[in-house]
Amino acid sequence: QVQLIESGGGLVQAGGSLRLSCAASGRTFRRYVMGWFRQAPGKEREFVAGVTWNSNNTTYSDSVKGRFTISRDNARNTVYLQMNSLKPEDTAVYYCAADRSTLEGVPMTATMYDYWGQGTQVTVSS
């Protein structure tokens, strides 16, 4: 079992930056694909970014590509999401997720992920 705890959300003006962190319990963290998803009010949960266990492959949604950067530190059991040039449409609850099964690549479908954090709110004001 893996527990995920997100932090770093908050209120920021458009154009600003935030860094989200996701701390994971368990020694198996380093084997898992890690992803960030977000869900805005009235919308479905959507993929934001993901990283393979060895950081060799990162994948981003088109809406955040070039602005967000995902990274991980397996020694610290932590995955990060650096968010720059934030826009009001980035406002959402951001979730960290772990995929224990995928061996290659980064799934972009929420159902592929086995463990989820409780979410952290990001609000971008215009």
Find all residues with CB under 8 Å of 49, minimum gap 6, and list them: 35, 36, 58, 59, 60, 61, 64, 68, 69, 70, 81
> What share of the chain has pLDDT > 90, as a percent?
91
Residue 115 and residue 126: Cα distance in Å, rounded?
33
Residue 105 and residue 51: Cα distance in Å, rounded?
8
* Mean pLDDT of the region 65-77: 97
Q: What pLDDT, on the 0 to 100 scale, is given for residue 7?
A: 98
Question: How many residues are recorded in the chain?
Answer: 126
Which one is predicted more confidently, 111 or 27?
Answer: 111
76-105: pLDDT as tens digits: 999 999 999 999 999 999 999 999 998 899
